[in-house]
Structure 1
Amino acid sequence: MTKEKQLVELVDALEVEMRKQGQWQQHSPSVEALSSQEPFAIDSLTPLEWLQWIFVARIRLLVKESQPLPKGFAMADYFEECWKEEQMMKPLITIIQQIDKVCRHA
């Protein structure tokens, strides 16, 4: 399986898990919130908002437009720290760890 296909499946799994938990939002944050220049838009979005509206959206756009996928990044540490007290987030963290692994050497 190609790295691209693996990443698409993991992004889909991320959405499914977020929906299962009732975390998938129907309405986008404001343009200003989405325009943050901070890592993970920490100053304007929650971690879940960043996942949905920045990460998932960007990966899907890159795939749709046949653009190179990001590589050499790691997100899991951030989300592990954000959700260290929230057991229900463990399935999301597991998926994020798998995304990191696929993209580490994409």
Structure 2
Amino acid sequence: MSHYHQVAEVLIDIEAALRQIGCWDAIAPAPEALRSEQPFAVDTLNFGQWLQFVFVPKMHFLVAQKAGLPTACGITPMAEEYFRGQQLPVAGLLAALTRMDNLLGGRR
């Protein structure tokens, strides 16, 4: 299985997990919110929105274009911090994000 195919599968898992925990928005944020230059767009989006409207689409684009993928990824710690204390079943999301971190970091 190609590296791109593995990344695409994990993106599907991330989307499914976000939907499962109710963190998938039906309405996109304003375009200016998506242009944030802060890490994870912390100044304009919550973490779930960043995953949905920035990370997932960008990664799908890179996979579709067979473009260079990031060689390092550290999303899981941010997710753990964001969801800490929330009463949401995030184990599936964290597992998918860990797989993505490992794939992009060269650990399969």
TM-score normalised according to structure 2 size: 0.89
1:89 maps to what in 2? Answer: 90
Which residues of structure 2 form unaligned runs of 5+?
A: none
Distance in 1, matches of 2:28 and 2:80, equals 24
1:99 maps to what in 2? Answer: 100
1:67 maps to what in 2? Answer: 67
The letter of the residue matching 1:3 is H
RMSD between aligned residues = 1.4
Distance in 2, matches of 1:22 and 1:82, equals 15
Which residues of structure 1 form unaligned runs of 5+?
A: none
After superposition, the C-alpha distances for 1:5-48 in whole angstroms (9 at most, x for unaligned) are: 11100000111121222321121111111000000000000000
2:56 maps to what in 1? Answer: 56
Q: Point out 4+ residue stretches in structure 1 off by more than 6 angstroms.
A: none
CA contact (8 A) 2:17 2:93 kept: yes
The letter of the residue matching 1:54 is V
2:80 maps to what in 1? Answer: 80
The letter of the residue matching 1:92 is L
Distance in 2, matches of 1:74 and 1:10, equals 15
